[in-house]
Structures are given as structure tokens and as C-alpha cells.
Amino acid sequence: MTLREIARRAGVSPRAPYRHFAQRDALLAAIAEDGFADFGAALARARDRAGDDHGDRLRALARAYLGFAAAHPALLALMFGDAIALRARRFPALARAAFATFAILRDEVAAVSAARDRAGQARHAAIAWALVHGLAELGRTGQLAQVLGASGARGLDAAAARVLTAGLGAPAPAGAVSAPKRRRPQRFR
């Protein structure tokens, strides 16, 4: 999409966007920056509504992440698209907005993994992000519904949240039923 096309769709003159943005990438970076601000706000609201339990907070973050991805697929594609790293280098405000959003997830993962070694916290946060973002991306592109069917794809936000918190060692939600432990086979002599 060109700035000329954006101006046409906005109903302004072809030169109007150039009063605010020198080039198309500057406009896309501004849109992505606003997207990260909205995304971060959605994550923070979900975390804050979840209360003080870190497991509940992580589950709320996973649901909010997937909800934002489902509600804004094109924006998410822009925010995490191939060119985002290049734009972030040229537009520092975009990089700051993206990092601030990631920090919400990172900080909650750090709180859960505080009992673990400090060096592993960044790794845990990256794994948590990869899990939730991968699920969001597969949902955005329709691949989950294609593989699982529409009814099979429902409820994956809760499943992802359970896997995320279990993998980080967060306590299970109150009333959750844990999987039975596997018994060792008995050896007969």
C-alpha cells in the first residue's frame, strides 16, 4: 500500500500524508507503535484484573494476548511482520513501544520463576512469548481452524494458558484437576 492509496482511502489529498510522514515506512511504524501501545494496555488490564496470584495473571495475559490477536489480525501482522525489526532500528519510539509491551509478559514470568535461577528468567519469558505468539499467529492465519476445525480451535486460549503456567511452574488455578501421575510398571521376577 502506498501513501497515495492511504490518502485516497482516508478521503484526503494525495499530498496530505506527507505533512505528517516523510515516507510510507514512517506511517507504518507509527501505526505499529500505536498498536503496541493498545496491545500493552490490553495486557496490563488483563493482568491487573487477575488479582495477585501470578498463575492467574499469566493465564489472563495469555488470554488477552490471544484475544488481541484475534480481534486485530492485520495489525498484529504489521506489528510482528518481517520488516518490523528494520523499522524498529529506524524508529526508536516503535522499538520502545514494542519492548514495553514485552516487558509486561517478561515481568510476570520473572515473578513466577523467581524461585528458579535468575539467569533462566529471560529464557522462560522468551519461551512463554513464543508459545503464546505462535498460537496467536496460527490462529490469525487460519491454520488452527484448518487443522482442528472451528470447534477444535475454540478453548485453545485456556489450553495455552495452562501449558504456559505449568511449564513455568506456576500453581494450577483453584479447583483445577491435575493429570494423574504415571506409575512405573511393576517388574515381576
- DSSP string covering 95-158: HHHHHHHHHHHHHHHHHHGGGS-GGGHHHHHHHHHHHHHHHHHHHHTTHHHHHHHHHHHTTHHH
Give CA–CA dist 67/60, Å, rounded: 10
What pLDDT score does 184 carry?
A: 40
Mean pLDDT on 62-80: 89
Mean pLDDT on 77-94: 79
Query: What residues contact residue 131 under an 8 Å CB cut-off, 6+ apart?
Result: 160, 163, 164, 167
**For residue 161, pLDDT beyond 70:** no
Choose between 1 and 186: higher pLDDT: 1
On whether the pTM is more than 0.75, the answer is no
Domain residue limits at 149: 24-168
Domain of 59: which CATH number? 1.10.357.10
C-alpha cell at 78: 504489521
Phi, psi of 78, rounded to the nearest 5 degrees: -65, -45
| 184 part of a folded domain | no
| 18 part of a folded domain | no
Choose between 162 and 61: higher pLDDT: 61
| 186 part of a folded domain | no
C-alpha cell at 79: 506489528
| 15 part of a folded domain | no
| 53 part of a folded domain | yes
